[in-house]
Amino acid sequence: MFSNTAVLLGKELRTEFRSRELLTTTVVFILVVVVLFSFTFDASSAESRRFAASLLWLAFLFAASLMLQPCFLREQSNDTLSALRLSVRDPFAIFAAKLSANTLFLLLTELLMLPVFSILFNVPVFPVFGQLVLVLFLGSLGVSIAGTALSAISAQARMRELLLPLLLLPLLTPVLVASTRVTLALLDTEPYMEWKGIGFLVVFDVVFLTALWLFGEYLLEE
C-alpha cells in the first residue's frame, strides 16, 4: 500500500507542479481575503493580536474549501477515476496520496502567507515559528482529510462548486476552534503553547482518518 501511495502522491505532485495553478490561485485568494478583512476593522496593534489568529484561520479555511475542489473533479472530468481505482489494491492508497498532496499544498501556501501576514498585521511570528508550523500542519491535515473525503462526495452532485464549502465548513468547526485557540495563544504578548488544542487536533485527525479508512472504498463507487 505504501508504494502505491508513494507513486500516486508523485502523480499528484507532478500534476500540480507542472502548472502550479492551484498554488498560485490559492495564494492570491488568501491575499485578497486578508486585505478585505483588514478593511472591516481598524487594526490597532492590540486588536491585531486578538483578531489575527481567527482571521488567518478563516482565510485558510475558505481557501482550502476552494482548493480541494479539483481534487476529485479532475479525475472525474478526465474519466480517470476507474483507472485509478483499478491500479491499486487498496483504495485507501488513493485517499492517502490525495490527502498528503493536499496537506502539502495547504501547508506550503500557509507558510508562504505567514511572513506577509506578519508584516501586514504587525504580529511577530518568527519567535514561535516552530510551534506555529506544528499547528498549521495538524490543522491542515484535518482540513485535508475531511476535505478530500467530501470532495469525493461533492464531485457526484450538481452545483458542486457551491456544495463543497457548504458541506465542509460546518464539519470543520472543531478544527477552526482548536487551531485558532492555539494560534491565539502563540501570538500573545507572552506566547504559550496550548497543548490541549494540539491534542484535540490530533484526535480530530485520527477520528476522521479512521472514518476515511473504513468508508473510503464506498466513496470511490461509481
Partner 1 sequence: MKRHALASAVVFLLLGAAAYGALFVAPTEKTMGTIQRIFYLHVSSAWTGLTAFFICFLANLTYVWRHEPRWDWLAVSTAEVGLVFTTVVLVTGPIWAHPVWGIWWTWDARLTSTFVLWLLYTSYLLLRTLIEEPDRRALFSALFGIFAFIDVPLVFGSIRWWRTQHPQPVVMGGSGSGLEPTMWYVLLFSWGAMLSLMALLVRARFEFEAVRGETDLVRREAEGA
Instruction: Count, in order, helices (H) and strands (E) of the chain.
Output: 10, 0
Determine contact, residues 185/194, Cβ cutoff 8 Å: yes
Taking CB under 8 A as the rule, which mask of x and - marks residues 183-212 in contact with partner 1? -------------xx--x--xx--xx--x-
The least distance separating partner 1 from the CB of residue 185, rounded to whole angstroms, comes to: 10
Q: Which of residues 21-50 bind partner 1 (CB under 8 A)?
A: none
Q: Which of residues 92-151 bind partner 1 (CB under 8 A)?
A: 146, 149-150
Cell numbers of 94, please? Answer: 488513493
**In whole angstroms, what is the distance from residue 155 CA to residue 26 CA?**
20
Which residues, 6 or more positions from 150, have their beta carbon under 8 angstroms from its beta carbon? 68, 164, 167, 168, 171
Closer residue to partner 1 in complex, CB, 58/111: 58
The least distance separating partner 1 from the CB of residue 108, rounded to whole angstroms, comes to: 26
* 77 sits near partner 1 (criterion: CB under 8 A): no
Question: Which residues in 207-222 are b (16+ Cβ under 10 Å) and which e?
Answer: ebbeebeeebeebbee
* 91 sits near partner 1 (criterion: CB under 8 A): no
Determine contact, residues 112/26, Cβ cutoff 8 Å: no
Taking CB under 8 A as the rule, which mask of x and - marks residues 163-182 in contact with partner 1? x--xx--xx-xx--xx--x-
The least distance separating partner 1 from the CB of residue 72, rounded to whole angstroms, comes to: 12
State the Cα torsion 184-197-30-120 to the nearest 10°: 20
Q: Which residues bind partner 1 (CB under 8 A)?
A: 146, 149-150, 153-154, 156-159, 163, 166-167, 170-171, 173-174, 177-178, 181, 196-197, 200, 203-204, 207-208, 211, 215, 218-219, 221
